[in-house]
A = this chain, B = another copy of it.
């Protein structure tokens, strides 16, 4: 009896030298959490016959088959048709999906092009999986060995559908196993340093299995325990997880899988009845953009200033001209004055500043490219830290943004930095 999964990503653009299928990583991660291994991944172009053949083979040999992409309104989008061919099923217009589609277009105030009606067709026997972020619903179909799912290609649509629709539907189809997860979200340390620190612990365990995910300035450690009961799984997680937690200390900013650093900092600001302003140079608005990414951010975000020129630092933030002349715009005193200026101007409880050389050009002998001064001004005074990042402009800006938010976290929690 097959118990494994396979994934087929669909789209000719995924067969060019420029594009990779990254969606399958998300699907794999969540299937693994259910205790299902992915044993084959394929990428197939917008080719109905070839796709249909691949689907037929996959459904014959695997428990879970996940198709990603090709659900759009255009003629290139052939996934629905290929499944119909492969499994000899009809495509049926769903009146319910049609009305969902119509009301969605009404909501976004756009006329519905005629070809969009394709997206309201479901495979015979399939359940629609709602897509609040796009027009194409997903589809979930029982198969001989398990299930077949059709998911939309855009990552913003796919991710929530995997978590909210696919996984809950798969659970009852799969053999009962309890899987429990413990997640650490971490900042302020690089991936290889983190691994050197915690590998001696996690290497001792096959169960829980440990995974490390990495993006610039942000790491996630996931422990995944399988057992027959929740109690057993939780006990495994405690045994391996507690020593890891102790080693990481306050580098862990959250144990909630979906809590980003900006979300945590937003919560802390609300809890402290505090608010925040930003004064950015090299990060160019990214700190403000991240703080305002959250719904309801106007509760705690007052204003942001992107003062790229010396004149702007003087005019808007009141940084003294002499200070810039003496120390340079990329310096500790200027970072301090920027934060203080933003706090004074807005009356916010806290203000963050960032000034540095993101590169590729610029920099001095003492402050080479990658050097950033991050400041925070608040009721307890002003502090500045100097950081030097490796990597390109993109990574430096991302890391600096992350470090600035972490400075705010540590200040609010009265942690050392």
Contact = CB atoms under 8 A, between A and B. Distances in A.
Given A286-B289, A303-B306, A308-B302, A391 B29 contact: no
A75 B206 CA distance: 13
A125 interface: no
A328 interface: no
A40 B37 contact: no
Nearest to A156: B394
A40 B346 CA distance: 57
Interface in A158-200: 190-193, 195-196, 199
A100 interface: no
Nearest to A289: B285
A154 interface: yes
A295 B109 contact: no
A17 B12 contact: no
Protomer copies: 2
A361 B40 contact: no
Interface stretch (A20-28, A236-244, A246-254, A373-381): A20-28
Interface stretch (A86-94, A207-215, A225-233): A207-215
A304 B292 contact: no
A315 B361 CA distance: 35
Contacts of A137: none
A115 B295 contact: no
A1 interface: no
A99 interface: no
A26 to B, nearest CB: 8
A16 interface: yes
A67 B114 CA distance: 43
Contact of A284 (B12, B42, B196, B292): B292
Contacts of A278: 285, 306
A301 B308 contact: yes
A10 B165 CA distance: 31
Contacts of A26: 17
Contact of A115 (B18, B196, B391): B196
Contact of A295 (B44, B306, B359, B390): B359
A22 B43 CA distance: 13
A100 to B, nearest CB: 13
A110 to B, nearest CB: 7
A397 B156 CA distance: 14
B302 A312 contact: yes
Nearest to A370: B108
Given A292-B306, A295-B393, A302-B312, 11 more contacts: A41-B42, A72-B191, A109-B390, A110-B193, A115-B192, A285-B292, A302-B308, A304-B308, A305-B305, A305-B306, A306-B306
20 contacts: A15-B38, A15-B41, A16-B32, A17-B25, A39-B50, A40-B50, A72-B192, A74-B192, A74-B195, A76-B212, A108-B389, A113-B192, A115-B195, A278-B306, A285-B289, A285-B306, A295-B360, A295-B393, A303-B316, A304-B306
Interface of A: 12-18, 20-22, 25-26, 28-29, 32, 37-45, 47, 50, 54, 72-76, 104, 107-110, 113-116, 132-133, 154, 156, 190-193, 195-196, 199, 203, 209, 211-214, 222, 278, 280, 283-289, 291-293, 295-298, 301-309, 312, 315-316, 345-346, 359-361, 370, 388-395, 397
